[in-house]
Each structure stands twice: as structure tokens, then as C-alpha cells.
Chain A
Amino acid sequence: MRLIGSTPGGRRASLTRLPHRGFWTYDAAVSISDELARARQLTYAADETSARDLLLSLIPQIGQEDRDDLMLEVLAQLGEIYLARGANDGVQESIQRIDDCLAIYTEVAADANAPMICRYSRRAQFLRTGLAAAQGDHDGAAAALEKLNDATSDGDFADLADEHTYLRTLAQVLCATALCDDDLHTRSLPLWGQVLNAVDQSRDGGEFTDHLLVTAATAYGRFCVETGRLSEAEPWLRRAGARAQQRGWELATARTQLERAAACWSVGDHVSTEQLISQAYPVIERHARVHDLARCWLYLGFTRMASGALEAADECWERAEQHWRDLGKPLHLHRILLQRSWISIFWSRFGDAVELIAQARELLDSSPRSSWLQYAQLDNHLGTVWRADALADLGFDSSGDPDETLEETEARQAEGLGILRGEVGTPEYWRGLTKLEQAAELKIPAALAVDSVRYSIADADARSRWATRISAPILAGAFAVAWEWENTELISELVEYHSARGTFNAEPQRSPVGEWASTATAPVLIDTEEALSAAGPPPQGAGSLTRLGPLPPLQMQPDAAPIMSHYRALALQRYGRDVTAAEPAWSTWP
């Protein structure tokens, strides 16, 4: 693949003067080209500062030589550097200057400079796509990408075909990653398909090919981890890591380690998580990638929390929160706030936890890309606070004391048996039960909403991923609250609801990590577009014994009202999930 080489078109045209052939020397042009190639290498090695300085230092010389084609290359490379570093203003300016320059050429000498105009129009279009994606303007990014995809719009030059493929694929990676950053994993699916195709077809092992492979494989690996496709993630991440290491690209290597750490965490492998993050962190910090830094601190907090070190975990998450505040991304910030509230929960500082959750809710409200699922998870989490508060009233032996130090809370947790020591019938007891009722009011509708989605997913693998990562922990929490509330009628109804679909497959019932350990990791929203958009008539798989789609009203006794109507109505009202099929009620007694 060739991105920087001889001047496309081979001729020159000045922006301001008529061509003066022979005005520049061959040697000077070659040395500038070499320097441009070196800048590109620095960029790939993520040494953007040196690359930028080098590029800026070439500008006076290029001006003297009057080589606008080289100037365009400088501008395009600068734009890519700014894009990588999240300096959106810089990207915008690079695009503008490329456009201005090309506009003049198009006007005065379009035919003579067609290849150059084509090449740098595409580079600008690539930057436009990346910028829109980085700003979360997914529709704009998709439109820009479509324009970039159109190979013939600017002319069709065989020697630019490789570069075109490279730009297009890289832009697809950027768009897909940006979608996943906003929890829009489903929308990113077709893009990943195109990316993988392009990576499979890339031929030579040059630097550009390697850069594309490493970037795409790492990003796709992350997508797989976030959507629970761990076995698919592993080979891509290892391949990317090996190639990056071979090239000496330390940041790219570290990023594969971070994604592998995330995969390890999601299967409960705390030791490997810690090990990989420790390797990745110093590099990511040196390169100041804020989002990835925040993710490092998130996972470091997880591993500390898993070993019972509450205070250390809190410090890690505080740093993660700070980084995400700097980035100003509401979805990520809302998740880390929810995660931090676990410390307050363990510490029995329930007011603080509720405050953090309220802040998280405001962030969701302010985000244009919030979904019902995030609200359901947030309500469920608020229910967890009520539950923990109630358990403290009921004498739960592991509950923290807000007046003690976190260290003392850690020790208490380590000793706790997980039992209630309180006396029945005391004022605290009744207060606790009232709080559990409140917890049920929050947790059960959320559980019904996510569980009904689970059963709208026709693909068994996707259904199982949804169950493991989203619905199982919430459902388990709903059962637990009903049990602790001593509400036999409600437990009986929940059991009835749960077994109404029959039990033919031992689907994975729970995530291998604890409830606290998944609050801030991105949820799966994949293969479920239809399931999420509507709870229509139940899709009935032919010959399948599994009932898909929402259940109709369930009637447990002759002449009794349908069960859990109150909670089912709340699920509809809060999340717009119609968790009850519009069919005649099922009687569930034999």
C-alpha cells in the first residue's frame, strides 16, 4: 500500500502563481517526502507530538519549494494526528485548509491535477467522517462514510485504490467504535462485517497494512468483549498485539492488553486482569489517552474491590471519574458514578449513594443517546441501595457502619456470614420491610423489562449472552428482595412467572462476576434491535419448545386476578416495555 510517494499527477500548480517548472530541486523534494514518511511512522508509533513537530517544521521548506501537493500531505497527516488525540478543532482546521487549497486547483487546473484533487479530497473526507464519529454525530458520520465509499466520485485512479481501501476501512472502524461508545453496538454490526472483510483481503505486510490490521483487530476485539463474544475476541486481540509488538508500537500493544484485561474480568479472572492492566497502564498514561486511562482505573478498582480493598477501589474509581469528567462523555460518566456508589452502599452511606445515582440520572437525561435499558439498570441499582439500607435495619452482619472507616468496613465484610441478626417485630424490622417494599417497586419492573427482552431474542446465543450479562443479575436481585421482604405471595408469583416458559435448557443463569462488578462495564445491546424496538406478537420459532416474546397474563388460581399486574404495568410505564402479551390469560395450575 502506498500513501506517501511520488507526487500524484507529477505536476505542480501553485495556488498563487503560474507554474514555474524547475523552480524546486529534486533532492529537496525527495528529502521532504522522506520526512513525511518518517512523520507517518511516528504517528503509527503513537508519538504524535514528534510527528506534529516534524510536520510543522517542514512547512517553511515546502512553502519555499512551492509544493502544494506536499503541503496537502502535511495538512492531511496533521488532521489525522489531531483526530487520534481528540483535538477536534485541529481536525476541523485541517479539513478547511485542504478544502481551500483543493478549491483553487479545481477552479484553475482541475484536469491537470485530477489525481491530486482526488487523493486529498478523500483524505479530507476521511477526516470529516472521523470527526463526525468522534463528536457522536453518527448519522453525519454515516453520510460522510458513504461519500468516502463512492470510489468513482472524484475519479478512478488505479494507483490510489489501495489508499482508498485503507481510508475507507479505517473510517469504518472509527464509525463503528464511536457507535459502541454510545452503546449502539447493534448499529455497528454491518460496519464490523465490512471491516473484517477488508482486513482479510489486505495483501502485503507493509506498515499501512499492519496499522490497519492492528487498529481494526483491537477495535473489533473490544466490540466482541463488550458483547460477550469472548472466544472471538481472543484471537483478534492476540493477533493485533503480536503485530503491534513486532512493529514496536507500544501504545497499540498496550491497548490490546487493556481489551484482553476487560475480557479476563468478564469471566472472573482477577489475576490476569490485574496483570494485563499493570502492563498496559504505564504506556497508556505516557500517551495520555484519557478514555483508556479511565478504563484502566475502572478495572484496577474492580480487582481491588474483588479482594475486599474498598478504600483502594474507591481511589481508583475516583481517578476514573476524573478522567471521564475531563472527556465530558455523559454515558461513561453516569456509569462510573453508579460504580462509585457501590462504595457508599458497602459503607452504609446510603444518602451518598442515592445522591450519586441522582447525578447519574441527570447525566442520562442530558444524553441524547440514553436508552430505556440504562434507565432500567439505574432504577435497579437504586433498588439495590434501598435493599442494602433495609438489610442494615434488619441486622445484616456484613453491613458497614457510616461512622467507621472504610478499613473497618472491609474487615467486617471479610468476617460476615451474610446473615440477618436483627430481631423480628422491632421498629427497625418494620422499617426494613418498608424499605424492601420500595426496593421491590424499583427492581421487579426493571427485571420484568429486561427479562422480557431476553425472551424476544430469537438467536439462542444472543439470548444467552443477554441473560448472562444483563437480565440474570437483575432478576436474581428481584427474587432476593421479595425473599427478604418475606413476601411469600410475591416469591410464589415470581417463581410461577419464571417457570411459565418451562425449563428445557440450562441457560447460563448468572454472570461469573458479582453484581457490583458489572455496573460500570458496557452492557450488551446486540442482535436485539427488534427485541428492543418493539414487544410485538411473539415470534414463535417453528418446532421450538421455548416460548419467545412476552408472556400473556398469568393466572395462578381459579377466579384469581392475573399475577404481578402492578409490576408489569410499571415496566410499561417506566421503560415502554410491554412485558405482557395481548393474549388471553394462561392458567398456570395443573
Chain B
Amino acid sequence: MAVSDPERLTLVLRYADVGIATYASLRIVGQPSRTVAWVIEEPILLTAIEELANALPEPHGTESRRDAIERALTQGPWATTETELTLAYILGVLLIGSPGWQLLAECTGSPRAVLFVSPSARLARVPWGLLAVPKSGPSKEELVRARQDAITASGRQAARIPWQLTDIDEHTDGHRLMELVDVLMAVPPNIVHTPRAAAGWDSRKEGPPLLVLDPRVPGQRPDSALGRCSEDPRHKHNWRSTSPS
């Protein structure tokens, strides 16, 4: 991976969910003084999760699987490009604080920076690369008020945020996080550092085979560059290098 390019900035965005709040830190490896942090109060986090849940084809409550898929495809935020952008904007505002966007903006350039994201469990389904860069959003006061109203005697609800979304283009130019930096998921340190038992092919060759379905991509010739899923040039080397000799 080209991450080892010494010229290339490596950013790490991590979220820590401690219940009543989720804390985020965004740092550049090797430049600790530029680290930024922000906090997402639980009602705000719940709002983000709720917005995303509307878009996903996962059944809500008594909804059937079929209805869930239909909702996601025809009514949910991902049904039209405009509502998709709106959701991407909302998630961008709620999940990445303005110091975060600021630092990301400072890191655009050549070679492209790479951003590793390690979300919390509750944020695991967020499509990070798609988040839209916001130009403006609700005021701090509006967010505080919305948060306060969402903390009730019966628990914490999703905050009702007074969005002004009639013209989404006023609030975002439509640039996505993946346009600023290469977005990758971070492998947690405990996995990275898990001791691995070395095992040679001889000891494994009697094991059950793993079969990989590799259908032809419709409309592509099988021998063309994109002819098969596994023949994506970006993946070619990975496949070959991990297959047993």
C-alpha cells in the first residue's frame, strides 16, 4: 500500500463511545501538535444514527424484509441524489466537528493524505467516505437547545435539530470526504498485535477448501480489465499473493 510514502500524510480518526457522549480525535501521525478533538453528545449521536437507519434496508420494528428494501430504495434518503446529499451533509455536520473538517481541509494536496477511521460500535455502519463537507450548519445554541430538549425523565432521545434544508446547496458544495483524502478503516491495535500462529501449507492442505464465486461482470468481456470481480486491477495482486501456491 502506498501509505508508506514518507511524503504522504497519515491521519487517524477515532471515536470512543462512553455512553452519555462520544469523543472523537483526529490526528496526523508524526504531528501531535495538530491533533484536534470534539465531542458528540448522545442525543446528537442518536440523531445521526436515526437518520442513517432510515436509509438502510434493514427492517424497523414490524417492517418486513421486503418493505424495508422498498423503503430504502423508494422513500429513504438514498432514493434520490438530493436526499442522499442531504443525509451525507447531516452526518458530516453531526459526526465530524468543525476543527476536524478544518484539519482535513488543511491536509488536502498531493500526494493525497490517507485517513484511517476507527468508529465506535454504534457508528460502525456510517459510510465515512461519503460524508459531505459542510459549509454551514445549525448554530451552537441551536444544538445545545436541541440536546437539552432530548434529555427527558424517561431517558435520552434523538435530538430534534432545526435543520434549514430547503436548499441543500446553500450548506454544502457536495464535496465528499473521500475527495479530500483516501478513506480506509483502521484495524484495531489489538488485532494488529494479536500473536499469529505460523502454519505452513503442508499442515493446511488437507483442510476444507474455500470456494470463491467469481461471476462475470455484466456487460464486460471476461478477459477485459474489469471482466471479473476478482480481476479488478487494484485487487489483482492481493488475490494472487494470498492464494496458496
Interface residue ranges, A against B (CB under 8 Å): 268, 270, 306, 417-419, 472-473, 475-476, 479-480, 483, 488-489, 491-492, 494-496, 498-507, 509-510, 512, 545-547, 551-552, 554, 556-558, 560, 586-590
Contact = CB atoms under 8 A, between A and B. Distances in A.
B121 A505 contact: yes
Contact of A590 (B3, B124, B148): B3
B5 to A, nearest CB: 13
Given A498-B16, A510-B19, A504 B35 contact: no
B20 A510 contact: yes
Contacts of B157: none
Contacts of A503: 17, 118-121, 124, 188
B189 A586 contact: yes
27 contacts: A418-B148, A472-B18, A483-B23, A483-B39, A494-B23, A495-B14, A496-B25, A499-B118, A499-B188, A499-B189, A500-B188, A502-B188, A502-B191, A503-B120, A503-B124, A506-B122, A507-B121, A510-B18, A510-B20, A545-B191, A552-B193, A586-B192, A586-B193, A587-B189, A589-B10, A589-B29, A590-B186
B139 to A, nearest CB: 13
Contact of B19 (A509, A545, A558, A586): A509
Interface of B: 3, 10, 12, 14-21, 23-25, 27, 29-30, 32, 35-37, 39, 116, 118-122, 124, 144-145, 147-148, 153, 155, 184, 186-194
Given A495-B16, A495-B25, A557-B30, A306 B153 contact: yes
Main secondary structure of the interface of B (DSSP, over half): mixed
B193 A590 contact: no
Contacts of A512: 155
A509 B18 CA distance: 6
Contact of B188 (A306, A501, A509, A557): A501
Nearest to B29: A589
A536 B226 CA distance: 53
A507 B16 CA distance: 13
A557 B32 contact: yes
Q: Which of A499, A512, A589 has the most CB of B within 10 A?
A: A499
A268 B155 contact: yes
Contacts of A491: 23, 25, 37
Given A472-B19, A496-B14, A589-B12, 15 more contacts: A270-B153, A417-B148, A491-B23, A495-B15, A499-B16, A502-B188, A502-B191, A503-B118, A507-B121, A546-B190, A547-B194, A554-B189, A560-B32, A586-B193, A590-B12
Contacts of A472: 18-19
B29 A494 contact: no
A419 B143 CA distance: 11
Q: Which of B24, B30, B121, B190 has the most CB of A within 10 A?
A: B190
Main secondary structure of the interface of A (DSSP, over half): loop
Nearest to B186: A590
A306 B153 CA distance: 8
B120 to A, nearest CB: 6
B148 A492 contact: no
Contacts of B191: 502, 545
A545 B190 CA distance: 8
A92 B157 CA distance: 57
Contacts of A505: 121
A418 B124 CA distance: 29
Given A557-B29, A589-B29, A479 B21 contact: yes
A556 B21 contact: no
A501 B190 contact: yes
B138 to A, nearest CB: 15
Given A270-B153, A479-B18, A509-B17, A495 B24 contact: yes
Nearest to B122: A506
A551 B116 CA distance: 22
A500 B190 contact: yes
Contacts of A270: 153
Q: Would you list the 4 A-B pairs with minimal beta carbon distance, nearest first? A: A510-B19, A502-B188, A509-B19, A498-B16
A500 B188 CA distance: 6
Contact of B144 (A419, A475, A496): A419
B21 A480 contact: yes
A324 B233 CA distance: 74
B119 A558 contact: no
B150 to A, nearest CB: 12
Contacts of A507: 121
Nearest to A509: B19
Contact of A495 (B23, B121, B184, B192): B23
Contact of B15 (A419, A473, A483, A499): A499
Given A589-B12, A590-B12, A492 B35 contact: yes
Nearest to B116: A590
A545 B189 CA distance: 11
Contacts of A479: 16, 18, 21, 23
B193 A492 contact: no
Q: Which of B23, B24, B145 has the most CB of A within 10 A?
A: B23
A24 B181 CA distance: 103
A327 B19 CA distance: 37
A522 to B, nearest CB: 21
Q: Which of B24, B118, B187 has the most CB of A within 10 A?
A: B118
A513 B241 CA distance: 52
A590 B18 contact: no
B144 A417 contact: yes
A99 B173 CA distance: 92
A472 B18 CA distance: 7
Contacts of A494: 16, 23
Contact of B187 (A417, A501, A504, A590): A590
A270 B12 CA distance: 42
Contact of B37 (A268, A488, A510): A488
B101 to A, nearest CB: 16
Contacts of A475: 18
A492 B27 contact: yes
A558 B30 contact: yes
Nearest to A555: B189
A558 B29 CA distance: 8
B30 to A, nearest CB: 6
B32 A476 contact: no
Nearest to A308: B153
Contacts of B35: 488-489, 492
Contact of A492 (B3, B25, B39, B121): B25
Contacts of A495: 14-16, 23-25, 37
Contacts of B12: 589-590
